[in-house]
């Protein structure tokens, strides 16, 4: 069955952690945008829930300030802001106690779509699920949204899945990975499966290798102690990079339908080879004159946690045998870039002679900055003087290609929250997918934990450790420059 937008007459969305950073920075500004786009039915309600003592008026003031900061365009739209804030109310509730639950039970309507967003620390996911049932607030139709991290290894992810399953069916659970909500990520599927051009070439016979890069310029200062328990592999690779890899590598699903897509992604994860020690590079950024080193920010001089990781990954199936996927992600790097580069093989023979040999085609799928897709092709350099070839990009930056619509691409959170309301799970991870991802990740982490090897120190503002460059040089390849 093909998924389609289901009209929703009304909904109640409860945001546990409604005063927190994520709610103020992403969730509520995202909802404000959807409100302005006319996608919020008149009688729908948003209920913030947390332990802080405040009333509806104080909560609306808090969120009004958040809109001012994180959706600055709202400053010119006072009527819309007032209309949106009118939908908000607040309930004081303790996820680990009994306070506030009976009040919440009276507030949440049973005859509309109910969604509960768990925007709180992971230790509260289980207690919230339990209390929603104990206080008879959730129904068999309610949906819960779970933020990352979903466990820190296979065992904890299984335990969390089991706890949630005591109270909710898989169809009610929306495990969020905001990368899947990005416009480009969905466009990747449109490009692959909506054109006849790419799919026949989408295999090891024509694709030399794939690079997936998520580079950040920020460090971990302010949340170093928290990050130090996780590291780049757990924080980024197990979820975001793995999801991107799945969408590139999966077989075409029969329909763009939640379980059809997720079945195909799961097969990719299960086909991933184990990773050997010489296929991984881990690093920690150094201090600059103005910024602390990773070790200083983590407040742990002996930390073995990585702020950078690069991996060479193989997928053992017919389509991909022999085509490596190189993944890298890190903090305090030169630029903030998220992109996937599909490097095609060179032409088997150059009819123009060796000097005029064409560069291989590459398809660049950019998630940030400037979401868009670019295909590099070889053409003749204009002018007389023989057949000189030049590689040029066919650029489809959404903001340019799609005009005003491209500039107004909804933020990932906006799209995903509305998908929850509409009951569309296509862009959310299923429980078995998350477990399979941990089952692949755990032995890699165990390998370096057992070895006790220190991550390599790399310069802040660089492209990462030199050893990550060597990882590709060894194979006669090189990373695409991470320039913005
Ligand atoms: P945060 O700023 O620390 O906010 C936590 C929220 O939870 C606050 O509203 C807090 O309010 C509430 N809370 C804490 N203990 C509670 C309890 N016992 N009962 C009820 N409410 C309680 O955290 P955050 O950055 O928003 O992150 C929330 C979740 O999103 C985490 O799982 C995080 O890993 C994930 N996440 C965050 C980001 C981000 O950019 N911030 C990105 C990706 C994922 P009170 O203290 O008043 O109760």
Does residue 17's CB lie within 6 angstroms of at least one atom of ligand 1? yes
Residue 40 domain flag: yes
pLDDT bucket at 4, cuts 50 / 70 / 90 = very low
Sort 355 into a burial class: Cβ within 10 Å, 0-12 / 13-18 / 19+: exposed
CA of residue 20 to ligand 1 center, whole Å: 5
125 and 189 inside one domain: no
197 and 94 inside one domain: no
Cα angle 445, 331, 276 (rounded to 5 degrees) comes to 30
Residue 158 domain flag: no
Write down the catalytic residue from 167, 209, 240, 343.
Answer: 240
Q: Report the relative pairing of strands 11-16 and 337-344 from DSSP bridges.
A: unpaired
Q: Which two tokens stand for residue 366?
A: 């950019």
Residue 422, domain CATH = 3.30.360.10
CA of residue 124 to ligand 1 center, whole Å: 9
pTM assigned to the model:
0.93
Domain boundary among 122, 147, 172: 147
pLDDT in tens, 202-253: 999 999 999 999 999 999 988 999 999 999 999 999 999 999 999 999 999 9
Whose CA is closest to atom 12 on ligand 1?
17
Residue 327 domain flag: yes
3-state secondary structure of 468: helix
Residue 83 domain flag: yes
CA of residue 393 to ligand 1 center, whole Å: 42
The reported pLDDT for the residue numbered 382 is 86
Does residue 121's CB lie within 6 angstroms of at least one atom of ligand 1? yes
pLDDT bucket at 56, cuts 50 / 70 / 90 = very high
Q: Which residue has the tokens 């994520």?
A: 22
Mutate to test the pocket of ligand 1, among 19, 55, 120 (most ligand atoms within 8 A of CB): 120
Q: Which domain holds residue 42?
A: 11-147
pLDDT in tens, 249-272: 999 999 999 999 999 999 999 999
8-state DSSP, 147: P
286 and 412 inside one domain: yes
Does residue 211's CB lie within 6 angstroms of at least one atom of ligand 1? no
- Cβ contacts of 93-98, under 8 Å, gap ≥ 24: 93/16, 93/49, 93/50, 93/51, 94/51, 95/16, 95/120, 95/124, 95/127, 95/128, 95/131, 96/124, 96/127
- Is 240 assigned a catalytic role? yes
Q: Report the relative pairing of strands 362-368 and 337-344 from DSSP bridges.
A: antiparallel
441 and 397 inside one domain: yes
Residue 119, domain CATH = 3.40.50.720
222 and 357 inside one domain: yes
55 and 137 inside one domain: yes
139 and 194 inside one domain: no
Strand arrangement, sheet containing 11-16 = 88-92, 45-50, 11-16, 113-118, 143-146, 173-175
Candidates 3, 50, 8; CA nearest to 417 is 8
120 and 258 inside one domain: no
312 and 238 inside one domain: yes
Does residue 54's CB lie within 6 angstroms of at least one atom of ligand 1? no
Query: Which residues make beta-bridge pairs with 312?
Result: 326
Cα angle 311, 317, 322 (rounded to 5 degrees) comes to 55
CA of residue 92 to ligand 1 center, whole Å: 14
Residue 259 domain flag: yes
pLDDT bucket at 20, cuts 50 / 70 / 90 = very high
Query: Which residues make beta-bridge pairs with 313?
Result: 325
Instruction: Say if CB 376 and CB 364 are below 8 A apart.
Output: yes
Mutate to test the pocket of ligand 1, among 50, 66, 125, 243 (most ligand atoms within 8 A of CB): 50
142 and 239 inside one domain: no
Q: Which run of H or of E encompasses 132?
A: helix 125-134
The reported pLDDT for the residue numbered 283 is 98
Whose CA is closest to atom 3 on ligand 1?
20
Does residue 9's CB lie within 6 angstroms of at least one atom of ligand 1? no
Instruction: Say if CB 242 and CB 269 are below 8 A apart.
Output: yes
Q: How many domains does the chain have?
A: 2
Residue 162 domain flag: no
Residue 424 domain flag: yes
Residue 58 domain flag: yes
Q: Which residue has the tokens 């991870």?
A: 429
196 and 86 inside one domain: no
Mutate to test the pocket of ligand 1, among 15, 19, 20, 27 (most ligand atoms within 8 A of CB): 20
Give me the phi and psi of 36, to 5 degrees please: -65, -30
209 and 300 inside one domain: yes
pLDDT in tens, 380-430: 888 887 888 888 888 777 666 666 555 566 788 999 999 999 999 999 999
């Amino acid at each position: 069955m093909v998924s389609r937008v289901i009209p929703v007459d009304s909904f109640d969305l409860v945001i546990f952690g409604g005063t927190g950073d994520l709610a103020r920075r992403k969730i509520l500004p995202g909802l404000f945008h959807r409100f302005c786009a006319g996608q919020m039915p008149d009688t729908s309600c948003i209920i913030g829930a947390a332990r802080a003592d405040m009333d509806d008026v104080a909560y609306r003031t808090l969120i009004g300030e958040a809109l001012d900061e994180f959706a600055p365009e709202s400053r010119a739209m006072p009527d819309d802001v007032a209309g949106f804030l009118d939908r908000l109310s607040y309930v004081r509730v303790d996820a680990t106690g009994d306070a506030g639950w009976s009040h919440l039970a009276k507030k949440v309507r049973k005859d509309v779509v109910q969604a509960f967003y768990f925007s709180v620390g992971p230790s509260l996911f289980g207690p919230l699920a339990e209390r929603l049932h104990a206080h008879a607030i959730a129904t068999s139709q309610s949906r819960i949204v779970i933020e990352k991290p979903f466990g820190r290894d296979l065992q904890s992810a299984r335990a969390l899945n089991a706890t949630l399953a005591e109270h909710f069916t898989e169809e009610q659970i929306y495990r969020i990975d905001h990368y899947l909500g990005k416009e480009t990520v969905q466009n990747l599927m449109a490009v692959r499966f909506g054109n006849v051009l790419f799919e026949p070439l989408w295999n090891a016979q024509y694709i030399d290798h794939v690079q997936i890069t998520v580079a950040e310029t920020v460090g971990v200062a302010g949340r170093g102690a928290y990050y130090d328990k996780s590291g780049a592999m757990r924080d980024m690779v197990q979820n975001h990079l793995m999801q991107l890899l799945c969408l590139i590598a999966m077989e075409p699903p029969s329909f763009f339908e939640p379980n059809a897509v997720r079945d195909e992604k799961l097969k990719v994860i299960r086909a991933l080879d184990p990773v050997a020690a010489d296929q991984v590079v881990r690093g920690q950024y150094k201090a600059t004159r103005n910024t602390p080193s990773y070790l200083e920010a983590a407040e742990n001089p002996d930390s073995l946690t990585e702020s950078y990781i690069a991996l060479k990954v193989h997928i053992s199936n017919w389509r991909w045998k022999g085509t490596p996927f190189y993944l890298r992600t890190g903090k305090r790097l030169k630029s903030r870039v998220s992109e996937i580069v599909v490097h095609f093989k060179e032409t088997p023979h150059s009819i123009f002679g060796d000097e005029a040999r064409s560069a291989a085609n590459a398809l660049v799928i950019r998630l940030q900055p400037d979401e868009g897709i670019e295909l590099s092709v070889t053409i003749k350099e204009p002018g007389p003087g023989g057949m000189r070839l030049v590689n040029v990009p066919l650029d489809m930056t959404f903001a340019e290609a799609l005009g005003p619509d491209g500039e107004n691409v909804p933020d990932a959170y906006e799209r995903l929250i509305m998908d929850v309301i509409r009951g569309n799970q296509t862009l959310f991870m299923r429980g078995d997918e998350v477990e399979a991802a941990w089952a692949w990740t755990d032995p890699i982490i165990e390998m370096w934990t057992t070895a006790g090897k220190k991550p390599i120190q790399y310069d802040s503002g660089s492209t990462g450790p030199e050893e990550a460059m060597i990882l590709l040089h060894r194979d006669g390849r090189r990373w695409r420059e991470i320039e913005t």
